[in-house]
């Protein structure tokens, strides 16, 4: 005698299929899918009360909620914007701290009558300018995708712009870290320079990783009309 | 009414059913269907990203609450959400009045 085949849960299958095509910050993705699962279960429970079997109710709930193809564009659009906001926030918050850090290193060297090598100073000025511009772009993007989006539609290429802003800031941080590390080897105050270089490297890793996910999300097809 | 016709008014519908108090996702769907007496065909799954978007815009606030063994996310209107709903209502009344006066002119008004 063989056991009856176990039928897969249509709700879990549907949520898993949707999860497989969505990209973005894991916590937000999980939250949105958890809510969707809750809604499907509630709908199926209501259908069971109306007399359907558990499996038939789950299948009908899935049908009423929409196919993966119908749901994925709106879920992905929201996840892409959330990721863009994460990246923009990372850039906007860390750049001022790093600029202050670099400034303190420069001031400490000056106070001791020393200066960074000319090449390092030039590189620091250039990367500082790039990082500051990136921070301004990131802050503007945060505003455009937040409360301001009540009045203005979000430009569909904004997530891509944020992704490349984050990438540019990440490159600027990497170059700065290189300059600071090199300078620290030559500097009398090498501990402070090395510390600033290490902090810059940590921030570079965080911003670059966020920008990479943002680029992946932004490359995905928008699909359908783009809400604010 | 078809789903694509409803989609353009989804924000207003969601804000309107939350006006009387906080609700979770399924209760919001049920409230829209109950108020429309089942006339509005809502693709139910699309309300979740819509709720997320309204929260991002600052029109809703949400929090998790435990119901028995399950956790549910409940949404409530913010002050900005109430103002947005009032604006949506005014715009809708103006729109329906204008269309109504053309489609269904008062007797003696047609020329």
The reply to whether A106 and A60 lie within a common domain is: no
Question: Which range has the top average pLDDT, A110-119, A124-133, A215-224?
Answer: A124-133
The reply to whether A45 and A85 lie within a common domain is: no
Contact A169, A95 (CB under 8 A): yes
Local confidence band at A226 (pLDDT 50, 70, 90 cut-offs): very low
pLDDT per position as a tens digit, A153-203: 788 888 888 988 989 988 888 888 777 777 766 766 677 777 877 888 888
Based on the number of CB atoms within 10 Å of its own CB, is B54 exposed (0-12), middle (13-18) or buried (19 or more)?
A: buried
Section B49-74 average pLDDT: 91
The reply to whether A122 and A58 lie within a common domain is: no
Local confidence band at A47 (pLDDT 50, 70, 90 cut-offs): very high
State in words which class domain B3-101 has: mainly alpha
Contact A87, A162 (CB under 8 A): yes
The reply to whether A30 and A99 lie within a common domain is: no
Judged by CB atoms closer than 8 Å, whether chains meet at A78 and B25 is answered as no
The reply to whether A99 and A151 lie within a common domain is: yes
**Residues facing residue B77 across a β-bridge:** B60
In this prediction the ipTM stands at 0.83
Residue A4 lies in a domain: no
Task: Tell me chain A's radius of gyration from C-alpha atoms.
Answer: 25
Contact A227, B12 (CB under 8 A): no
A117 CB within 8 Å of a chain B CB:
no
The reply to whether A129 and A215 lie within a common domain is: yes
* Largest interatomic CA distance in chain B: 65
User: Strand B23-24 and strand B60-67: pairing?
Assistant: unpaired
CATH number at residue A205: 1.20.120
| pLDDT at A67 exceeding the cut of 60 | yes
Contact A130, A168 (CB under 8 A): yes
Residue A119 lies in a domain: yes
Section B77-102 average pLDDT: 93
Domain residue limits, chain B: 3-101
Judged by CB atoms closer than 8 Å, whether chains meet at A36 and B45 is answered as yes
pLDDT per position as a tens digit, B13-28: 999 999 999 999 999 9
The runs of H, that is alpha helices, within chain A are 10-21, 26-49, 54-65, 68-111, 118-145, 158-186, 190-219
Judged by CB atoms closer than 8 Å, whether chains meet at A75 and B48 is answered as yes
Alpha-carbon separation of residue A79 from A73, A142, B18 (angstroms): 10, 15, 24
Closest residue in chain B to residue A68, using alpha carbons only: B45
Residue A14 lies in a domain: yes
The reply to whether A37 and A22 lie within a common domain is: yes
Lowest mean pLDDT among A72-86, A193-207, B63-77: A193-207
Rounded Cα gap, residues B39 and B1, in angstroms: 6
Q: What is the pLDDT of residue A222?
A: 55
* Largest interatomic CA distance in chain A: 90
Q: Which helix (H) or strand (E) holds B71?
A: strand B70-77
Candidates B26, B43, B72; nearest CB to A70: B43
The reply to whether A88 and A172 lie within a common domain is: yes
| pLDDT at A225 exceeding the cut of 50 | no
Q: What is the pLDDT of residue A81?
A: 93
Q: Which residues on B lie below 8 Å from A75 (Cβ)?
A: 48-49
pTM of the entire predicted model: 0.82
Residue A224 lies in a domain: no
The reply to whether A199 and A178 lie within a common domain is: yes
Residue A23 lies in a domain: yes
Q: Is the dihedral of CA A183, A187, A191, A193 positive or negative?
A: negative
Contact A156, A220 (CB under 8 A): no
Q: Which residues on B lie below 8 Å from A43 (Cβ)?
A: 26, 29, 44
Judged by CB atoms closer than 8 Å, whether chains meet at B53 and A227 is answered as yes
Q: Mean pLDDT score of chain B, rounded to an integer? A: 88
The total domain count for chain A is 2
> Residues 6 or more apart from A32 whose CB is under 8 A from it?
A75, A78, A79, B48, B49, B52
Lowest mean pLDDT among A29-43, A141-155, A174-188: A174-188
Range of the domain at A88: 71-219
Q: Name the 3-class secondary structure at B63.
A: strand
Judged by CB atoms closer than 8 Å, whether chains meet at B43 and A65 is answered as yes
Local confidence band at B30 (pLDDT 50, 70, 90 cut-offs): very high
Section B72-87 average pLDDT: 95
Dihedral, A74, A80, A82, A84 alpha carbons, nearest 10? -150
pLDDT per position as a tens digit, A80-102: 999 999 999 999 998 888 888 87
Alpha-carbon separation of residue A184 from A64, A82, A197, A198, B19 (angstroms): 63, 38, 8, 11, 60
Q: Which residue has the higher pLDDT, B52 or A195?
A: B52
| pLDDT at A43 exceeding the cut of 90 | yes
Q: Is the dihedral of CA A23, A25, A28, A34 positive or negative?
A: positive
A73 CB within 8 Å of a chain B CB:
no
Contact A81, A154 (CB under 8 A): yes
Contact A168, A134 (CB under 8 A): yes
Share of chain B above pLDDT 90, in %: 62
Gap from A209 CA to chain B (nearest CA, Å): 23
Rounded Cα gap, residues B9 and B18, in angstroms: 15
Question: Which range has the top average pLDDT, A29-38, A106-115, A141-150?
Answer: A29-38
What is the separation of C-alpha A151 from the centre of its chain, rounded to a whole number of angstroms?
24
Q: Phi and psi for A177 in degrees, rounded to 5? A: -60, -40
Contact A43, A65 (CB under 8 A): yes
Rounded Cα gap, residues B73 and B53, in angstroms: 14
Q: What is the pLDDT of residue A204?
A: 86
Q: Is the dihedral of CA A45, A46, A51, A57 positive or negative?
A: negative
| pLDDT at B104 exceeding the cut of 80 | yes
Last residue of a domain, one of A31, A51, A66: A66
| pLDDT at A31 exceeding the cut of 80 | yes
Gap from A112 CA to chain B (nearest CA, Å): 49
Last residue of a domain, one of A66, A89, A110: A66
């Amino acid at each position: 005698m063989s056991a009856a085949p176990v039928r897969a849960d249509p709700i879990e299958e549907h949520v898993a299929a949707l999860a497989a095509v969505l990209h973005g910050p894991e916590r937000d993705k999980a939250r949105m899918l958890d809510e969707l699962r809750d809604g499907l279960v509630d709908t199926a429970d209501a259908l069971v009360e109306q007399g359907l079997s558990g499996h038939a109710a789950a299948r009908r709930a899935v049908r009423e909620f929409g196919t993966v193809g119908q749901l994925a564009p709106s879920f992905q659009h929201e996840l892409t914007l959330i990721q863009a906001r994460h990246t923009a926030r990372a850039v906007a918050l860390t750049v001022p701290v790093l600029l202050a850090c670099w400034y303190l290193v420069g001031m400490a060297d000056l106070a001791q009558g020393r200066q960074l090598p000319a090449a390092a100073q030039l590189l620091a000025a250039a990367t500082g300018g790039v990082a500051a511009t990136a921070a301004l772009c990131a802050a503007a993007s945060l505003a455009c995708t937040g409360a301001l989006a009540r009045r203005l539609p979000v430009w569909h290429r904004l997530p891509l712009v944020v992704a490349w802003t984050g990438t540019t800031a990440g490159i600027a941080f990497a170059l700065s870290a290189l300059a600071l590390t090199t300078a620290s080897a030559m500097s009398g105050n090498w501990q402070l320079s090395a510390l600033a270089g290490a902090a810059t490297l940590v921030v570079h890793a965080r911003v670059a990783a966020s920008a990479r996910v943002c680029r992946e999300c932004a490359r995905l097809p928008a699909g359908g009309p783009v809400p604010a | 009414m078809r789903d694509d016709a409803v989609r353009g008014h989804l924000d207003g519908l969601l804000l309107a059913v939350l006006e009387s108090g906080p609700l979770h996702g399924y209760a919001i769907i049920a409230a829209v269907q109950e108020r429309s007496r089942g006339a509005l065909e809502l693709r139910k799954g699309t309300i979740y990203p819509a709720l997320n978007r309204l929260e991002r815009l600052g029109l809703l606030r949400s929090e998790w609450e435990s119901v028995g063994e399950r956790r549910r996310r409940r949404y409530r209107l913010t002050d900005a959400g109430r103002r947005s709903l009032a604006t949506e209502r005014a715009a809708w009344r103006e729109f329906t009045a204008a269309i109504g006066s053309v489609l269904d002119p008062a007797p003696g008004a047609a020329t």
